[in-house]
Amino acid sequence: MKQQLEVKVPFVDLKAQYHSLQAEIRDAVLDVLETTQFVGGIWVERFEKEFAAYVGVAHAVGVSSGTSALELALKAAGLGAGDDVIVPANSFFATAEAVSNVGARPIFADVDPLTSHLNVSSAELVVTARTRAIIPVHLYGWSVDMKPIEEFAKKHELFIIEDAAQAHGIGRAANKVGSSGRLTCFSFYPGKNLGAAGDAGAVTTADYALAEKIRRLRDHGSPAKYRHTLIGTNARLDSMQAAVLSVKLPYLDSWNAKRYRHAEMYTDGLRGSAVLTPILPPSGEHNFHLFVVRIAQRDRLREHLIRNGIECGVHYPVPLHLTEAYQALAASQPGSLPVAERLASEILSLPMFPELTAAQIEYTIGTIYDFCRSHGLSLKSAISV
Ligand SMILES: Cc1ncc(COP(=O)(O)O)c(C=O)c1O
């Protein structure tokens, strides 16, 4: 019989966070049950106000997931059949899927090897007269430097829609991601830095007309009962999720600060090893949703960590242009986006969540050094960027 390995360091521990807020979360959920306002109503309105104030933007529209946030933002921006949208090749599948679901076509650009963010020089190679929008992704929780993206978008007259599914509570120059005024899409999937107790998402914007359009699109295009002015869908934010998110929002900054300290500890501890650690930007810029290291022997290191009770992940193992679903696209050739393809074989996400302990981080670091020693790997073997 196969022996079950004991997990010593989980990748994410949602129970720890739930237990720390158990009474508050239960009270909020019971309140929803008592009021029976299960869809829409005070809970959703309250969270939308709180999240907009937290981000520093006029409107936050609660929706059913990060994926629906992207789909509704694209629709509200008027994108559809015949339009191309530039998407970075290293992101979660939903970034491209949302583009396809509104009838537009994702066009993949390569990423920067240091930041893993969309590379504007690569975007220049794929932009055409059909290109109408670009979706920068604040990947791993590091806010994208928007200046080059803005210049590129201006030059080619493109709409910018930000994918902030992993970027809660951070930004550059004190401007939080989501406060730019543009359509910015958040996910509150349970494992995110601000996670619901199920699926949930939001779109933020400073544009009243776009916010109203998304409010309508998420609710069957309906401004009033049985009146339908647009073809929308059902992508409303659930009241229970809104209530849970309202409880959790005041803790987000302290959770992000803890993640950042864990990132510093990993970085210090792994400095002499064969793994390349990510850049540590100023703390306000990165929420370390994921702590992603690089090593040529990634698969063997991953197996070694798992054998020693340390869970880890790969974000993401297949670049979007090479996923099976996009094989029909002309650009889906191996070798076409070399940085994203190389990263996919080298990246490894180490355990990261606010409640991670110093002992768990030290154990993970020690286990990585054991692997390096047993494979004759030293700092000199670390890959160059
Ligand atoms: C970068 C990115 N975009 C979009 C999404 C989709 O969000 P959701 O799972 O809430 O639909 C995710 C979620 O994992 C994501 O990480």
Ligand 1 center to 163 CA (angstroms) = 8
The radius of gyration of the chain from alpha carbons, rounded to an integer in Å, stands at 21
User: What confidence score (pLDDT) does residue 45 get?
Assistant: 97
Instruction: Report whether 96 contacts 326 (CB < 8 A).
Output: yes
Residues of the chain with pLDDT under 50: none
Instruction: Report whether 134 contacts 160 (CB < 8 A).
Output: yes
Model pLDDT for residues 170-180, shown as the tens digit of each residue: 999 889 999 99
Q: At residue 124, what are phi and psi to the nearest 5 degrees? A: -60, -30
> pTM for the whole thing?
0.97
Q: Left (φ > 0), alpha (ψ -120 to 50) or beta: where does 107 sit?
A: beta
Model pLDDT for residues 318-376, shown as the tens digit of each residue: 999 999 999 887 677 888 999 999 999 999 999 999 999 999 999 999 999 999 999 99
Token pair, residue 270, equals 């792994």
Q: What single letter denotes the amino acid at residue 158?
A: L
Instruction: Report whether 134 contacts 118 (CB < 8 A).
Output: yes
Cα–Cα distance for residue pair 119/137, rounded to 1 Å: 11
Local structure of residue 112 (DSSP, 8 states): -
> For tokens 């933007």, what's the residue?
57
DSSP labels for 241-298? HHHHHHHHGGGHHHHHHHHHHHHHHHHHHTTTSSSBPPP---GGGB--S-EEEE-TTH
User: What confidence score (pLDDT) does residue 2 get?
Assistant: 58
User: What confidence score (pLDDT) does residue 385 get?
Assistant: 76
Could you tell me which of 240, 263, 135, 136 has the C-alpha nearest to residue 193? Answer: 263
User: What confidence score (pLDDT) does residue 328 get?
Assistant: 83
User: What confidence score (pLDDT) does residue 330 get?
Assistant: 65
- The dihedral over CA atoms of 221, 224, 226, 231, expressed in degrees to the nearest 10, equals -10
Atom of ligand 1 nearest to the CA of 98: 4
Could you tell me which of 93, 38, 40, 46 has the C-alpha nearest to residue 70? Answer: 93
Provide CB contacts within 8 A for 307, sequence distance 6+: 5
Q: State the greatest distance between any 2 C-alpha atoms of the chain, in Å, as a whole number.
A: 69
Q: What residues are in contact with ligand 1 under a 6 Å CB criterion?
A: 65-67, 91-92, 94-95, 137, 163, 165-166, 187, 189, 199, 201
Which of 67, 70, 142, 162 should be mutated for ligand 1, with most atoms under 8 A from CB? Answer: 67
Model pLDDT for residues 279-299, shown as the tens digit of each residue: 999 989 999 999 999 999 999
Local structure of residue 322 (DSSP, 8 states): G
Cα–Cα distance for residue pair 247/314, rounded to 1 Å: 30
User: What confidence score (pLDDT) does residue 382 get?
Assistant: 84
Cα–Cα distance for residue pair 354/259, rounded to 1 Å: 5
Ligand 1 center to 344 CA (angstroms) = 18
User: What confidence score (pLDDT) does residue 379 get?
Assistant: 83
